[in-house]
Structure 1
Amino acid sequence: MKYIIGIDIGTTSTKCVLYDQKGTVITHADAGYQLIQTEPGMAEEDPDEIFQAVLTTLKQVMNGIEPDDLSGVSFSTAMHSLILMDENDHPLTRAITWADNRAAEYADELNASDLGAKIYAKTGTPIHPMAPLSKMLWLKNDHPNLFNQAKKFIDIKSYVFFELFGVYKIDYSIASATGMFNIFDLKWEPEVLKLLNIEETRLPEVVATTDSVSGINKEYGKMLGIKATVPFILGASDGVLSNLGVDAIDPGVVAVTIGTSGAVRVVVDKPVIDLDGKLFCYALTKDKWVVGVPVNNGGIVFRWVRDQLFDSKVSYDELTKMASGVPAGSNGLLFQPYLGGERAPIWNAYARGSFFGLTRQHTRSDMIRSALEGIVFNLYSVMCLIEKVTGKPTRIQATGGFARSVFWRQMLADIFDQDVTIPESFESSCLGAAVLGMYALDNIDDLSAVKNMIGITDIHHPNENNVKIYQELFPIWQSVTQVLEPEYKRLAEFQSKQK
């Protein structure tokens, strides 16, 4: 069989890529959807709209190939989503995404208790509103009728698989991002079930990331041109598959991703827990675990800069060109990029953004560069957390939408003071899903086969002059965050009253 499909169900769109068995891109498609934010803290999506995006993109990449030539379809999915299903297997809620902050109160309460620390030590998921555990505590307390009606509590990938196959399954990787799954025993954590007062039967069956399902619904199979014998591999989460898709699966090799949000991740051979509870530990396979930190504020901050300080018609290339005319350090202007609360490094859902050091001499070009530097400063601060557990990185592989910008890539090398490699691989999470699918189907012997599929487009070396400037400014940037943090909640509460 000639081809395999890697499909990534992301926060803003679903991307689907058809590869040959050497990892070469044959064709690709994507379909976007809207984030629903009609009340403070809300960040939901329509699960049926996402499912239609999956169908649409699959149909597009299947166009022109013979059904017999498809060996499998393998999935990557954004983490932390939650959907409640009723007795008739219909959604009671939309998909509540990682960006939803309405569970903040219950995350705070759990964090302040001894139980919160015990749960983190078993699950490897920081206690935060992003996690389905916190979302379920919020629903249980604030919307008990809805909570009690739920037959199943599932994620968006489980929803897609149910629609296609009529089964409720969740892979180790997505399960390990719920805050409800024991990453050492590989099963739902009894203490969490007790806390929520639910039976294990109300959660999906947990299976390996290499597990597969076949026998696609006849109607969808006919629509897509996919035979019932084709296996659909559960796959993993977008974060860990991005590591695989950029060949950051060896010890010491770090993947830095900036898309809408961002993350820094490194692979280890067994689960690792951070005593401070700030790092996540999620599964790729049973013997490959990804330790890392997610941030809320990546490219979405750059979009805010464009839309609010300029015009949505202005291109990002124009903005980075303006920023490139400003020296490193933005003439002493610092930016805290917390426009949507923040996960790492401060794990504060109430965090807010700010410019610090603004004078009459500063220009919009300074503000652009400062915002971009603020995003990377935040990522560097989480790299410092990871180093305490896994050691200093040997190589950094960078990916995400930001990697298209030479200017931003160089900034990453300068702030991290490390060589930064930009893999050629197209849509790293899709490639990661495809490679994991090939491994699951015994088409390759080892995940390291990805080395021959990614290529290298560029390597950026640190500019020593810029490194010195950033090393002087970074402690100030950190201190500003620490000084402002006690006031974030008070300000957030004031803002919520103005809506």
Structure 2
Amino acid sequence: MTQFTAGLDLGTTSAKAVLFTKAGEVVGEAECSYPVQHPHPGWAEQDPFAIEAAAVKALKEAVTDAGPGELLSVGLSSAMHSLICADADAVPLSPAITWADCRSSSQADALKASPAGTEIYLRTGTPIHPMSPLVKLSWMRDTGYAPYKQAARFLSVKEWITARWFGVYHVDYSVASASGLFNIHERTWEPLALEAAGITEAQLSEPVPPHFIFRGLDPETAEAIGIKADTPFAAGGSDGPLANLGIGAINAGEAAITIGTSGAIRQMASAPRTDSRQEVFCYAFTDDLWILGGPTNNGGNVLEWLKQHVHTAETGTKDPYEALFTDMEHVAPGADNLLFLPCLNGERAPYWDAAAKGAYVGLTVSHTDAHMTRAGIEGVLFSIQSISKSLERLTGEAGSIYASGGFARSDVWVQMLADMFGEDIHLPLSHQSSAWGAAWISLYAIGEVDDLASIKAHIPMRESVTPRADVHAVYSRLYPVFSGLYDALRPAFHELHALSTDTTLASASKR
């Protein structure tokens, strides 16, 4: 009988379930989406039950897609920084608040400016920013948020689902780290952060390594998925370190770049590394591995914005994204010296500024929508390069670059990445690297594989993409200009942000 393992990845907008053979071959997959609600400007919330239903449906469809066989194990992956207020029985008292929620900007600014904020970052490795549950909890405390006052527990989405499915409260190291409440040096909850959030350790789950096994799946859930109730589920981790594992970027000098809705660049390290500049994150992953990197708020969402508002030509029967890239290729690399700072949703690394805005710089009458499109896509990659410069200060220069996520399916976009970094880009056949990383950890947890590092021999890879020297030279001349844009425009961004939050002006604009 064929043996499978599965990775279940709870992303920002969808649950993805992928079944693999032990050699890393995809034999079944499914994806089920769920919406993000924005009840007020800057808020980003989700229905936890919608996420759970999508997870069950995706697993069921992936198992069905794989056909007959034995499911050995399931590994869990999730997006970072989610927060649910729950009662003692894991009943949600609040929506799931996502990483994109920035209602706590004032609390983030105040904490970041304080000596305690710097010390919390150095201990937890989580930059002080509205994305983190620590800062969300501070907002809840300061505003008297009713679910916060009533809550017995504070859980991430993945913790909430495992509590419902297995009846226990455990959280893997990397999800715990992303909360901003976890000491990455001691792998325990950090008292200084708990004090800043106004909560106690008893309201949080027990931290466990990624190979911790959940057993005893709720029978109704097992039946709904179509698997045995005794199927072991490994705690896994957050999607970032699991993407590194699933793509094979686990040794020093190996960087992984992921671009989906947002984006990130990450490297593994054998020890935690932070500094007072607070430009990158550092999260615990296993007992002897940490993940360092930086996320950008702006990745595939910029592509969507370009499609909707910049590249508006009729495409006929052609895929609109394909048409966008086709037209962009008629413009020379560098977009005739047009640059785009892609901070459409504020920005995380390396600026950690929720008030940052997008901006075209260098626009002239000779530029067309195709120039603006090319500059927009190049701006996303320039942002990743900016984060890589901050990361290299702590990890050293990357010698190998691996790519995963939705953007890795675009040959044009990956070629642009190779040209910009001037390095070969290594690509897996499957873009579901977080799911494969989670699945591999589950195999390790049940003793089917000897270690995590051996995954390198079980990642089906495509041919690497090689940079073009002449194009790299163009980007090398433009990058120093791009790297100075944020600092030059920051005062204007903050003045505009203040105007946008001025209730008097907001009321006048609606008349």
Q: Which TM-score band applies after superposition, normalised by the shorter structure? A: over 0.9
Cα distance, 1:436 vs structure 2: 1.1
**In the alignment, what sits opposite 1:287?**
288
**In the alignment, what sits opposite 2:413?**
408
1:73 alignment partner, SS class: strand
Cα distance, 1:67 vs structure 2: 8.9
User: 1 CA distance for matches of 2:107 and 2:374?
Assistant: 36
**In the alignment, what sits opposite 1:465?**
470
**In the alignment, what sits opposite 1:355?**
360
- The aligned amino acid for 1:85 is A
1:459 alignment partner, SS class: coil
Cα distance, 1:72 vs structure 2: 1.1
User: 2 CA distance for matches of 1:15 and 1:65?
Assistant: 14
**In the alignment, what sits opposite 2:480?**
475
CA contact (8 A) 1:67 1:226 kept: no
Is 1:184 equivalent to 2:185 in the alignment? Answer: yes
Kindly provide the CA deviation profile for residues 311-351 of structure 1, in whole angstroms up to 9, marking residues without a partner as x. 59752111011111111110111100000000011110110
Cα distance, 1:144 vs structure 2: 4.1
2:19 alignment partner, SS class: strand
Cα distance, 1:310 vs structure 2: 3.5
**In the alignment, what sits opposite 2:265?**
264
- The aligned amino acid for 1:282 is Y
**In the alignment, what sits opposite 2:344?**
339
**In the alignment, what sits opposite 1:371?**
376
User: 2 CA distance for matches of 1:21 and 1:389?
Assistant: 35
- The aligned amino acid for 2:128 is I
Aligned counterparts, 1:201-350, within 5 A: 201-311=202-312, 315-350=320-355
User: 2 CA distance for matches of 1:65 and 1:391?
Assistant: 42
CA contact (8 A) 1:85 1:153 kept: yes
User: 1 CA distance for matches of 2:145 and 2:460?
Assistant: 52
User: 2 CA distance for matches of 1:75 and 1:265?
Assistant: 19
**In the alignment, what sits opposite 1:424?**
429
Kindly provide the CA deviation profile for residues 285-325 of structure 1, in whole angstroms up to 9, marking residues without a partner as x. 11111111111001111100101123597521110111111
1:332 alignment partner, SS class: coil
Aligned counterparts, 1:164-175, within 5 A: 164-175=165-176
> Which region of structure 1 is more displaced relative to structure 2, 337-346 or 413-422?
413-422
User: 2 CA distance for matches of 1:283 and 1:411?
Assistant: 32
Over 3 Å counting, the alpha-carbon distance change for 1:258 and 1:65 in structure 2 is closer
CA contact (8 A) 2:9 2:434 kept: yes
> Which region of structure 1 is more displaced relative to structure 2, 399-408 or 109-118?
399-408
Cα distance, 1:493 vs structure 2: 2.5
**In the alignment, what sits opposite 1:491?**
496
1:105 alignment partner, SS class: helix
> Which region of structure 1 is more displaced relative to structure 2, 313-322 or 352-361?
313-322
Kindly provide the CA deviation profile for residues 363-407 of structure 1, in whole angstroms up to 9, marking residues without a partner as x. 010011000110001100111111111111111001111111111
Cα distance, 1:468 vs structure 2: 1.7
CA contact (8 A) 2:90 2:160 kept: no
- The aligned amino acid for 2:35 is Q
CA contact (8 A) 1:245 1:425 kept: no
- The aligned amino acid for 1:491 is L
Aligned positions, number: 499
Kindly provide the CA deviation profile for residues 397-430 of structure 1, in whole angstroms up to 9, marking residues without a partner as x. 0111111111111111121122211222340100
**In the alignment, what sits opposite 1:397?**
402
**In the alignment, what sits opposite 1:2?**
3
User: 2 CA distance for matches of 1:381 and 1:197?
Assistant: 35
- The aligned amino acid for 2:218 is N
Kindly provide the CA deviation profile for residues 189-230 of structure 1, in whole angstroms up to 9, marking residues without a partner as x. 011222233221111121111101111111112222222221
2:462 alignment partner, SS class: strand
Over 3 Å counting, the alpha-carbon distance change for 1:68 and 1:19 in structure 2 is closer
User: 1 CA distance for matches of 2:242 and 2:65?
Assistant: 27
CA contact (8 A) 1:335 1:371 kept: yes
CA contact (8 A) 1:279 1:291 kept: yes
- The aligned amino acid for 1:406 is D
User: 1 CA distance for matches of 2:30 and 2:97?
Assistant: 25
Aligned counterparts, 1:18-29, within 5 A: 18-29=19-30
CA contact (8 A) 1:67 1:227 kept: no
Kindly provide the CA deviation profile for residues 14-65 of structure 1, in whole angstroms up to 9, marking residues without a partner as x. 1001112222111101100111113111111111100000110111122277
User: 1 CA distance for matches of 2:436 and 2:207?
Assistant: 23
Identify unmatched segments of 5+ residues in structure 2. none
**In the alignment, what sits opposite 2:43?**
42
> Which region of structure 1 is more displaced relative to structure 2, 118-127 or 474-483?
474-483
- The aligned amino acid for 2:426 is T
Cα distance, 1:284 vs structure 2: 2.4
1:285 alignment partner, SS class: coil
**In the alignment, what sits opposite 1:454?**
459
* TM-score, structure 2 as length reference: 0.95
Cα distance, 1:137 vs structure 2: 0.3
1:244 alignment partner, SS class: helix
Over 3 Å counting, the alpha-carbon distance change for 1:64 and 1:389 in structure 2 is closer
User: 2 CA distance for matches of 1:95 and 1:59?
Assistant: 23
* TM-score, structure 1 as length reference: 0.97
> Which region of structure 1 is more displaced relative to structure 2, 426-435 or 275-284?
275-284
**In the alignment, what sits opposite 1:103?**
104
2:336 alignment partner, SS class: helix
User: 2 CA distance for matches of 1:387 and 1:67?
Assistant: 46
Identify unmatched segments of 5+ residues in structure 1. none
- The aligned amino acid for 2:308 is D
